[in-house]
Structure formats: structure tokens, C-alpha cells
Amino acid sequence: MADLSFDALHRALKQGDVANVYYLVGPEDVLKDEAVRLILDRALDPSLRDFNFDQRTATSLDAETLESLLDTLPMLAERRVVLLRDVDGWQKKAKMRTALLKWLAKPGPETVLVMAQSAAEPESDKDFTSRAVTVRCDALPPARAAKWAQHEASQAGVTLVPEAAEHLVKAVGVELSVLRAEVAKLAALPEGT
């Protein structure tokens, strides 16, 4: 199936393209969370999200619960979204993994499944990449991280000029969770400082 960068996913979702199954991989968990938000925003009406969005940690499920979760029909909507975090925690022959692979062979059209691999796992699962749109959530290059910091700052009500964003990236690096924390500190300052 398709192999997309985070930016390519963003463009595809803007065009209205929502796949049945996404597999989020890579070291940047902040981008995985943003990818989930983008998918939710495109796939579900916000007023119906409480009824049609389930998120679970994969290792906390048994096979029957997983099958039920994937086969549940949407309520008052065309589709529902299921988010499974840490899918790399399953052993190769686990019953849950077998149940998931069976569902992935013929996914229900009313369910959008998002599988997120933990950042600690460097290798993507070939069984999942062959059956899902794989979204690579890799560390951003410095220039792209600076633009991300500017956007994050604007969301927090802070104006961050390009030079300041570049300096911030040089000072703390490109890890988005660290950049987000620094932007939050800037947002906490009194207005006008």
C-alpha cells in the first residue's frame, strides 16, 4: 500500500482522501498525535466523535474485544475511527495479531483503523505496511521544525518570527515535544514581554 510522509498525509486529507487503514510509524510521537487529529477531523463530524471514536492500547485487548471493536457499526454517521496504540507490543503469533490480520484482509468500509507503533520500535511491521497506508512520522529537518514551532506558537497565541524559531530549534533541537514545551513557556509569559 501507500507510504506517506506526515506532510503527504496532510495534503491527502485536505483533498478529502481518507483511507480505511493507517499505520503510523517513526520516532516522532507528536506527529503521530497530529496525524490522528487530522484523520479524526476529516473522518468524523466533531458532534458525533464521542459515539464513533475508540482508542485503546493494543496490548490491553483480547482477541474477542478487538474483533468487537473493529466490527462495531458507527452511530448516526457513515463511519467510525478506531485507534490502536503500541501495536508493536504484540508477539508475532498472538491471538490479537491474528484477529487483526484477518480483519485487515477485508476491512469493513465503515471503520477507519489507525494503528500507531511506539517510537521505541525502529522497524515497521511488514504485515501492517502491506495492508495499510503507512505514515512515516520521522524527525523533522531543522528548517521544517522551525516552521512547526511557528505554527505551534501561533496556536498558543504567540508570534514567533522566523529568526526566533530558527534560534529556538538551534538551542533545543528538533524534537517536537521539547519544542512544544518551550513554546508553552513562551505562551505563559505576561503579554508584551
> What are the tens digits of pLDDT across the range 26-59?
999 999 999 999 999 999 999 999 999 999 998 8
**Which three cell numbers, joined as nine digits, stand for 102?**
484477518
Is pLDDT above 90 for 119?
no
Alpha helices in 76-132 (DSSP H): 95-105, 126-129
Residues 75-117: pLDDT tens digits?
999 999 999 999 988 776 678 888 999 999 999 899 999 999 9
pLDDT of residue 78: 92
**Which three cell numbers, joined as nine digits, stand for 68?**
468487537
**Which three cell numbers, joined as nine digits, stand for 66?**
478487538
pTM confidence score: 0.91
Q: What is the DSSP string of 138-173?
A: PPPPHHHHHHHHHHHHHHTT----HHHHHHHHHHH-
Question: What is the pLDDT averaged over residues 175-182?
Answer: 94
Mean pLDDT over each residue of the chain, to the nearest integer: 92
Question: What is the pLDDT averaged over residues 126-144?
Answer: 94
Look-up: residue for cell 493494543?
A: 58
